[in-house]
Amino acid sequence: MFVTSKPNLTRPASILYCTGFAFLFFTGCNTEDRSSSPPVVPQTSEAVSAHADDARLRVGGSTTMMPILNQIAMDFTARYGTWDRAKTGLPHEPIIIHVTGGGSSAGIKMTAAQTVAIGLCSRDLEEKDRLALGVHASFLVGKDCVAIAAAKSNPLVGVKKGLTKAELATFFGGGYKTFRDIDSSLPNDECILYARTPGSGSSEIIKDHIMNGRPISPAAVVFSSQTELVENLKEQPRAVAFMSYAQVKNSKMLIAFEVDGVEPNNRNVTSGRYKLSRPLLMIVKGTPSAKTSCFIEYVLHEGQAVVASHGCLPARVAD
């Protein structure tokens, strides 16, 4: 059984970070298909909790990662149905995975508070995050570009193929009031800036690589979830936003601009030419349960195809 809410062969698992000198290794899940597994049955969401007596496996954080983990959780549930089918020795209990959003910072906080078993974070961990988490391990699911995007009806499209970092810093800082301020051939219409909440993975990338410590304009329209931002961007031809490139790639209504002459795509992330990229991380605090370990193993192997299908760079390529 799979639950989602909006603001979702033995092989060693890859560990990116681990504090407190605790090194964790997990055994894999069985990989045989189980055609008799019960179907996925969505249910209404409840308050996030990861208490030991809760039968649900709770996952939460980055809204960029939420749809990816939603799909992987549904595939995992449909394939196995009960935990003992996924891995020998686990109980004969229905698989119930609850995936929620909230943003990368929320994912770290929920992991630290142990209200989720797996936190989702689409940015690098900072020292303050590691201190809050204590003993923990992070797992690279994949990588994603942060793209500068607009609706295809935006006046910039067709006039400018890309923007420089200096232009972006001026734009996001509120220095461009109209499109004519950017290019004299453009209309004197107001520029609208769409942004994510501070602490989200994409906003941290913009802060570090574009703004260099300067604040984003207070006039920006701020969205708590990427899904909400994407839907509004499609309908507003005067807006420009930063967002996951995967969302742009999967939309017929949006377009991404080059940054300093480099196109945002997985090839340029792999080569290192496109600098606005970020890791997609799963984080666990302390020693994970056997169920948590089993699902993590599935995400890092069978689930990599889902990562690629969402337009992101799978960890098997990313590392």
Which domains are assigned to the chain? 2-143+280-318 (3.40.190.10), 145-277 (3.40.190.10)
Residue 12 pLDDT more than 50? no
- pLDDT mean over 121-139: 95
Q: How confident is the model at residue 54 (pLDDT cuts 50, 70, 90)?
A: low
Q: What percent of the chain has pLDDT over 70?
A: 82
What pLDDT score does 26 carry?
A: 36
Q: What percent of the chain has pLDDT over 90?
A: 72
| Phi, psi (degrees; rounded to nearest 5) at 118 | -130, 120
Residue 110 pLDDT more than 90? yes
Q: How confident is the model at residue 1 (pLDDT cuts 50, 70, 90)?
A: low
What pLDDT score does 261 carry?
A: 96
What pLDDT score does 158 carry?
A: 85
Q: Which residue has the higher pLDDT, 54 or 75?
A: 75
Residue 308 pLDDT more than 60? yes
What pLDDT score does 223 carry?
A: 93
Q: Which residue has the higher pLDDT, 249 or 11?
A: 249
Q: What is the pLDDT of residues 273-296, one digit of tens each?
A: 999 999 999 999 999 999 999 999
- pLDDT mean over 32-38: 35
Q: What is the pLDDT of residues 200-255, one digit of tens each?
A: 888 889 998 999 889 999 999 999 888 899 999 999 999 999 999 988 988 999 99
Are the CB atoms for 17 and 136 separated by under 8 Å? yes
**Residue 193 to residue 144: CA distance in whole angstroms:** 21
- pLDDT mean over 49-70: 81
What pLDDT score does 195 carry?
A: 95
Amino acid at 238: R
Residue 51 pLDDT more than 50? no
What pLDDT score does 128 carry?
A: 95
Q: How confident is the model at residue 33 (pLDDT cuts 50, 70, 90)?
A: very low
Q: Which residue has the higher pLDDT, 269 or 2?
A: 269
What pLDDT score does 317 carry?
A: 64
Q: How confident is the model at residue 59 (pLDDT cuts 50, 70, 90)?
A: very high
pTM: 0.77
HSE of 274, CA atoms in CB hemisphere, 13 A: 24
Are the CB atoms for 254 and 247 separated by under 8 Å? yes
- pLDDT mean over 52-74: 89
- pLDDT mean over 27-32: 40
Least Cα distance to 241 among 123, 154, 307, 183 occurs for 154
**Residue 75 to residue 298: CA distance in whole angstroms:** 10
What pLDDT score does 27 carry?
A: 35
- pLDDT mean over 152-164: 94
Residue 5 pLDDT more than 70? no
Q: What is the dihedral of CA 78, 84, 90, 94, to 10 degrees?
A: 50
Average pLDDT for the chain: 84
HSE of 158, CA atoms in CB hemisphere, 13 A: 7
Residue 4 pLDDT more than 70? no
